[in-house]
Amino acid sequence: MAIKLRELTQTPELIAGGHRACAGCLGVNAVRQVLHAVDRPVVTTSATGCLEVTTTIYPYTAWQTPFIHSAFENVAATASGIERALKVLGDEGAIPRKVKTIAFAGDGGTYDIGLQALSGALERGHDFLYVCYNNEAYMNTGIQRSGATPYGASTTTSPAGRRSLGKTQRPKNMTDIVVAHSVPYVAQASPHSWRDLATKVKKAMDKEGPAFINILAPCHRGWRYPMEEGINISKMAVDTCVWPLFEVDEGEWNLSYRPRRKPDVADWLKRQRRFDHLFKNGGGPVLDTIQDTVDEDWAKLLERCGEPPKTD
């Protein structure tokens, strides 16, 4: 049954207003959307990063759920301990058994420094949901490149310059890496597609065992677009197939959304000043490579999901 927006608005606001994230931050927005879709008590934990520093400035906290942050690279390990402790308390009847653990981390805390802890927790099969809010760089420390930063993007450590066209490597496919762990539920989501996002969170919460949702989380500071454009930027990322929406439910690949018309990736890139240099002298081949990679990945995804190949 389709989730109604009105229903979501009736659920408690678990990230209180007044936090210090930038206006228009889609990372914190994504987390807020996740928590609106949650229908049971949860213990939340987050890695170091924009989410954590903007929501917990002492003596305040925006978290209306129990929450712990301990370090950058270990959120999945912290969640492992929480989850086992909740099991002990659930078994002895001190708390309801359905309490769930949710871990949040940025792309740095997931793709890079937190990958080992995440892989370990997935392999051990803890009953928890892991949400990566992927803003494609280390934003909290000032927009440095990460393993999720797109090919050609200018960041403060992969700057465009006289001899550089931005990041020289393509991002790793983190969602695939999680799928390789054979966990019950893996999905990609985007904040503009709130119903899809909420549906995926609900599915993930109902699984027993690890679930992982990778949410694209545009950051206007790092991607350099006008503050109010975030939702459009995320929609275009999905329409251009840079960030396809899909799930892998008990090993079964399902495409969540197929754009009727697939615009050129350049249309998306053009709106973000982190790619400005690609549209000046010499960026052409990089643009071509980006488009080719997106097309290849998209064709592969269609096949995996049992969808007919591209028509346009």
Partner 1 sequence: MRPDTGRVAMTGNEPGALAMKQVRPDVVAGYPITPQTELMQQFAQYVADGESETELILVESEHSAMSAVIGASATGVRAMTATSANGLALMWEMLYIAAGYRLPISTMLVSRSLGGPINIHCDHSDAMGMRDTGWIMLFAETAQEAYDNGIMATRIAEHDQVRLPVMTVQDGFITSHTTQVLSILTDEQVSEFVGIYRPKKSLSNFDQPMTYGAIVLPDFYMDVKRQQAEAMDNSPRFVEQVADEYAELTGRRHEALESYRLDDAQVALVVLGSAAGTAKDAIDIMRERAIAVGLLKVRMFRPFPRVEVAEALSRTRAICVLDRSLAMGAPMGPLAADVAASLVTGRRAPPLYNAVYGLGGRDITIADFEGVIEEAAEVAQTGAPKATVRYVGLRGNEE
Ligand X SMILES: Cc1ncc(C[n+]2csc(CCOP(=O)(O)OP(=O)(O)O)c2C)c(N)n1
Residue 122 found at the interface with ligand SF4 (CB under 6 A): no
Residues 6+ apart with CB under 8 A from 19: 28, 54, 55, 62
Residue 123 found at the interface with partner 1 (CB under 8 A): yes
8 A C-beta contact, residue 282 and residue 165: yes
Helix or strand run (H / E) with residue 197: helix 194-206
User: Minimum distance from CB of 89 to partner 1 (Å)?
Assistant: 5
Residue 138 found at the interface with ligand X (CB under 6 A): yes
Residue 35 found at the interface with partner 1 (CB under 8 A): no
Site string for ligand SF4, 26-65 (x = CB under 6 A): -x----------------------x---x-----------
Count of Cβ atoms closer than 10 Å to residue 8 Cβ? 14
Bridge partners of 134, per DSSP, are 216
Three-state secondary structure call for residue 69: strand
| Partner in contact with 293, chosen from partner 1, ligand X, Mg ion, none, beta carbon below 5 to 8 Å by kind | none
- Give CA–CA dist 65/86, Å, rounded: 14
Which of 4, 11, 64, 195 binds partner 1 (CB under 8 A)? It is: 64
Residue corresponding to tokens 């760089």: 137
Following CA atoms 169, 210, 182, 215 in sequence, which dihedral angle do they give, to the nearest 10 degrees? Answer: -30
User: Minimum distance from CB of 222 to ligand X (Å)?
Assistant: 8
| Partner in contact with 211, chosen from ligand X, ligand SF4, partner 1, none, beta carbon below 5 to 8 Å by kind | none
Residue 153 found at the interface with ligand SF4 (CB under 6 A): no
Query: Going along 167-239, which residue ranges are E strands?
Result: 185-189, 211-216
238 φ/ψ angles, rounded to the nearest 5 degrees: -80, -45
Residues 6+ apart with CB under 8 A from 295: 241, 310
Q: Amino acid identity, residue 185?
A: Y
User: Minimum distance from CB of 133 to ligand X (Å)?
Assistant: 7
Which of 3, 8, 22, 87 binds partner 1 (CB under 8 A)? It is: 87
User: Minimum distance from CB of 211 to Mg ion (Å)?
Assistant: 21
Which of 37, 38, 100, 109 binds ligand X (CB under 6 A)? It is: 109
Residue 179 found at the interface with partner 1 (CB under 8 A): no
Helix or strand run (H / E) with residue 239: helix 230-239
Give the residue from 24, 269, 49 showing the smallest Cα distance to 166. 269
Site string for ligand X, 50-79 (x = CB under 6 A): xx--------------------xx------
The contact set with Mg ion (CB under 5 A) reads 106-107, 135, 139
The contact set with ligand SF4 (CB under 6 A) reads 21-22, 25, 27, 50, 54, 135, 139, 219-222
The contact set with partner 1 (CB under 8 A) reads 41, 43, 45, 52-53, 56-61, 63-71, 73-74, 76-89, 94-95, 99, 116-117, 119-120, 123-124
